[in-house]
């Protein structure tokens, strides 16, 4: 039988607010345990939550970006369960009335476009962390993360393969970073994924029983976990078994999922509206205010890069993969007055390679867009050749000098004096009669040899266009 997988994702994005969702404590990552937890985060007797407006703004921005219904009235609810890293014994979340309703995200898998529905997105607070190592059989609790704002984004069960799921997840990852509402750092848990997976005979309408795989923290693991789970479910059904509704954990070391708890063991969270918080009212004026801050979104930017700069799909994809990189590129184009394709080649080529070697992000690049533009400007005005430029770039990467300073200091200026070039060409033609003969008898390939000889003699400083032109004349 042919099977079809049905996948829906729940993605927890940590919102990049400075303070927590219901307290003034800092959200910075990596502090000493329990140093960033105030009375409210600790759940002391008598404390009360106060909503951080910035978290609401970010949720609304997201809602508008996926063309969703932003609820004019949403409600925080208490989700009740006991766990040592959940200080109040309940998590403040949204249940019946989330802040973001139905929206969508368009994905592209192997050139095929697909629209994935977003069921809802709701605001909630994160829990703390239980630390099981270093405590000799005991458990330590770190409440620094308790109260960090999360936007839980729930998709429709619209994906049919692990590949689609990963494409959706990447698209979402790109979007939240574009919006500046999440740093997207998966290692630090800023972007976490739960996957709901089921299978059904192809053509069947009804969904199969689903399993939920919890807390998968990389794109690669999401793909592997889903593929494993699809296989597991198909094997189970084909061997006469039945899929049970349960929560499973993905074990990356063994590359398999294992059962965590079944539906029967599932908690009854006893949700009810949190009486400590007023309903969140988002009016048209607030929405308009947020909308005015909407950055250009990835899809729009991609199309514009192709139209405006004539870039191919590959360069476009790289350059628009993050807002800082796209901004960097556009700044270089503007400041260098150099051809966009050349700028793109430099940013996606030499610059990206250098960044990768050093493990740096574009925002930390030692060569700023002004400096790179200064270099590319010298290519476009023929002061130096592309080849010399690579040499200048390496110097720039190591130090702080501008391209002009390096060109000047090292005497790398292109020789445009035709007399000087002509003298060298004459000399090379005279010294290589054999090759001249070959060229003149129709062996065009030998032309490259002459160019190389001239450039070598002139230490790369000759204008290649000029050299080509003059060589062709002389060799006629």
Partner 1 sequence: MHNKSITDLAKGLRSGEFSSVELTQAFLDRIKRHSSLNCYITVTEDLALQEAKAADDRIAKGDATLLTGIPIAQKDIFCTQGVKTTCGSKMLDNFIAPYNATVVEKFNQAGSVMLGKLNMDEFAMGSSNETSYYGAVRNPWDHNAIPGGSSGGSAAAVAAGLAVCATGTDTGGSIRQPASHCGITGLKPTYGRVSRYGMIAYASSLDQGGPMARSAEDAAIMLQVMAGFDERDSTSVDLPVPDYRAELNNSIEGLKIGLPKEFFGAGLNSEVAAVIEAAVNEYRKLGAHIKEVSMPNLKLAIPAYYVIASAECSANLSRFDGVRYGYRCANPEDLTDLYTRSRGEGFGKEVKRRILMGTYALSAGYYDAYYIKAQKVRRLISDDFKKALSEVDVIMGPVAPSAAFRIGEKIGNPIEMYLSDIYTIAINLAGLPAMSIPAGVVGGKPVGLQIIGNYFAEHRLLNIAHQYQQVTDWHQQSPKGFE
Q: What is the DSSP letter of 414?
A: P
Q: Closer to partner 1 at the Cβ: 138 or 285? A: 138
* Residue ranges in 84-123 that form contacts with partner 1 under rule CB under 8 A: 84, 87-90
What are the beta bridge partners of residue 19? 26
- Least Å distance, CB 81 to partner 1, is 9
- Best CA proximity match to 280, nearest among 16, 98, 40, 48: 98
Does position 141 bind partner 1 by CB under 8 A? yes
Does position 277 bind partner 1 by CB under 8 A? yes
Q: In angstroms, rounded to a whole number, what is the distance separating the alpha carbons of residues 32 and 163?
A: 38
Q: Closer to partner 1 at the Cβ: 35 or 358? A: 35
Radius of gyration of the chain (CA): 30
Query: Which stretch, 44-52, 240-248, 365-373, 461-469, contacts partner 1 (CB under 8 A)?
Result: 44-52
- Least Å distance, CB 368 to partner 1, is 42
- Least Å distance, CB 76 to partner 1, is 10
Instruction: Spell out the alpha helix ranges (H) of 33-143.
Output: 39-42, 53-65
55 burial class (0-12, 13-18, 19+ CB within 10 angstroms)?
Answer: buried
Does position 221 bind partner 1 by CB under 8 A? no
Q: Closer to partner 1 at the Cβ: 270 or 469? A: 270
* Residues near partner 1 (CB under 8 A), total: 28
Q: In angstroms, rounded to a whole number, what is the distance separating the alpha carbons of residues 381 and 403?
A: 13
For residues 14 and 126, the answer to whether their CB atoms sit within 8 Å is yes
Query: Which stretch, 40-48, 108-116, 316-324, 400-408, contacts partner 1 (CB under 8 A)?
Result: 40-48
- Least Å distance, CB 80 to partner 1, is 6
Dihedral sign (CA 19, 20, 21, 23):
negative
- Least Å distance, CB 90 to partner 1, is 5
Dihedral sign (CA 371, 376, 379, 385):
positive
Does position 1 bind partner 1 by CB under 8 A? no
- Least Å distance, CB 216 to partner 1, is 25
Does position 268 bind partner 1 by CB under 8 A? yes
Does position 8 bind partner 1 by CB under 8 A? no
Q: Identify the residue among 3, 33, 80, 236 touching partner 1 (CB under 8 A).
A: 80
Q: In angstroms, rounded to a whole number, what is the distance separating the alpha carbons of residues 305 and 313?
A: 9
- Least Å distance, CB 41 to partner 1, is 11
Joined together, the tokens standing for residue 408 give: 């000047």
- Least Å distance, CB 266 to partner 1, is 10
* Residue ranges in 45-64 that form contacts with partner 1 under rule CB under 8 A: 45-51
Does position 253 bind partner 1 by CB under 8 A? no
Does position 281 bind partner 1 by CB under 8 A? no
Does position 240 bind partner 1 by CB under 8 A? no
Joined together, the tokens standing for residue 251 give: 């074990």
Joined together, the tokens standing for residue 331 give: 């700044």
Does position 359 bind partner 1 by CB under 8 A? no
Q: In angstroms, rounded to a whole number, what is the distance separating the alpha carbons of residues 351 and 255?
A: 36
Does position 39 bind partner 1 by CB under 8 A? yes
Joined together, the tokens standing for residue 390 give: 């690579």
Does position 78 bind partner 1 by CB under 8 A? yes
171 burial class (0-12, 13-18, 19+ CB within 10 angstroms)?
Answer: middle
- Least Å distance, CB 144 to partner 1, is 14
Strands (E), 160-219: 191-201, 211-216
Does position 275 bind partner 1 by CB under 8 A? yes
Residue with tokens 């270099």: 375
Q: Identify the residue among 263, 270, 443, 456 touching partner 1 (CB under 8 A).
A: 270
Q: Identify the residue among 278, 337, 360, 423 touching partner 1 (CB under 8 A).
A: 278
452 burial class (0-12, 13-18, 19+ CB within 10 angstroms)?
Answer: exposed
Q: What is the DSSP letter of 363?
A: G
Q: In angstroms, rounded to a whole number, what is the distance separating the alpha carbons of residues 23 and 49?
A: 6
Residue 17 to residues 56, 125, 192, 268, 393, Cα–Cα distance (Å): 10, 12, 17, 31, 37
Instruction: Spell out the alpha helix ranges (H) of 205-255.
Output: 219-238
Q: Closer to partner 1 at the Cβ: 48 or 409? A: 48
* Residue ranges in 399-418 that form contacts with partner 1 under rule CB under 8 A: none
- Least Å distance, CB 218 to partner 1, is 30
Residues 77-86 as b/e (b if ≥16 CB within 10 A, e otherwise) read bbbbeeeebb
Q: Closer to partner 1 at the Cβ: 62 or 90? A: 90
Query: Which stretch, 39-47, 102-110, 217-225, 419-427, contacts partner 1 (CB under 8 A)?
Result: 39-47
Q: Closer to partner 1 at the Cβ: 267 or 380? A: 267
Where does this chain bind partner 1 (CB under 8 A)?
Answer: 39, 42-51, 78, 80, 82, 84, 87-90, 141, 268, 270-272, 275-278
């Amino acid at each position: 039988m042919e099977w079809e997988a049905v996948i829906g994702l729940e993605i927890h994005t940590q919102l990049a607010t400075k303070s927590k969702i219901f307290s003034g404590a800092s959200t910075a990552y990596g502090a000493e345990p329990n140093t960033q937890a105030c009375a409210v985060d600790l759940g002391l007797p008598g404390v009360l939550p106060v909503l951080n407006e910035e978290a609401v703004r970010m949720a609304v921005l997201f809602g508008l970006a996926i063309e969703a219904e932003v609820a004019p009235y949403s409600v925080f609810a208490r989700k009740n369960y006991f766990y040592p890293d959940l200080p109040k014994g309940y998590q403040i979340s949204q249940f019946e009335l989330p802040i973001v309703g139905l929206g969508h995200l368009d994905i592209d898998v192997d050139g095929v476009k697909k629209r994935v529905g977003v069921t809802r997105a709701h605001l909630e607070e994160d829990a703390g962390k239980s630390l099981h190592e270093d405590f000799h059989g005991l458990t330590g609790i770190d409440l620094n993360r308790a109260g960090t704002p999360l936007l839980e984004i729930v998709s429709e069960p619209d994906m049919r393969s692990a590949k689609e799921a990963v494409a959706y997840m990447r698209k979402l990852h790109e979007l939240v970073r574009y919006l500046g509402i999440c740093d997207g750092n998966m290692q630090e848990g800023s972007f976490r994924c739960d996957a709901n997976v089921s299978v059904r005979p192809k053509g069947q309408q009804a969904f199969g029983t689903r399993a939920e795989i919890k807390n998968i923290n990389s794109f690669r693991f999401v793909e592997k976990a889903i593929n494993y789970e699809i296989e597991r479910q198909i094997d189970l059904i084909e061997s006469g078994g039945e899929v049970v509704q349960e929560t499973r954990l993905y074990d990356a070391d063994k590359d398999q999922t294992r059962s965590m708890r079944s539906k029967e063991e599932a908690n009854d969270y006893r949700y009810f509206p949190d009486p400590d918080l007023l309903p969140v009212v988002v009016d048209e004026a607030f929405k308009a205010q947020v909308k005015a801050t909407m950055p250009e979104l990835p899809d729009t930017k991609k199309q514009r890069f192709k139209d405006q700069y004539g870039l191919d799909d590959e360069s476009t994809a790289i350059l628009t993969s993050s807002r800082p990189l796209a901004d960097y590129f556009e700044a270089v184009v503007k400041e260098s007055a150099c051809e966009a394709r050349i700028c793109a080649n430099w940013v996606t080529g030499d610059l990206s390679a250098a960044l990768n070697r050093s493990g740096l992000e574009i925002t930390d690049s030692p060569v700023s867009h002004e400096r790179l533009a200064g270099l590319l400007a010298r290519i476009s005005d023929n002061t130096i050749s592309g080849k010399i430029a690579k040499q200048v770039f390496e110097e720039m990467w190591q130090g702080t000098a501008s391209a002009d300073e390096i060109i000047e200091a090292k005497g790398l200026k292109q020789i445009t004096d035709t007399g000087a070039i002509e003298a060298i060409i004459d000399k090379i033609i005279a010294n290589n009669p054999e090759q001249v003969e070959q060229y003149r008898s129709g062996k065009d390939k030998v032309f490259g040899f002459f160019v190389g000889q001239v450039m070598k003699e002139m230490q790369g400083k000759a204008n290649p266009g000029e050299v080509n032109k003059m060589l062709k004349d002389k060799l006629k």
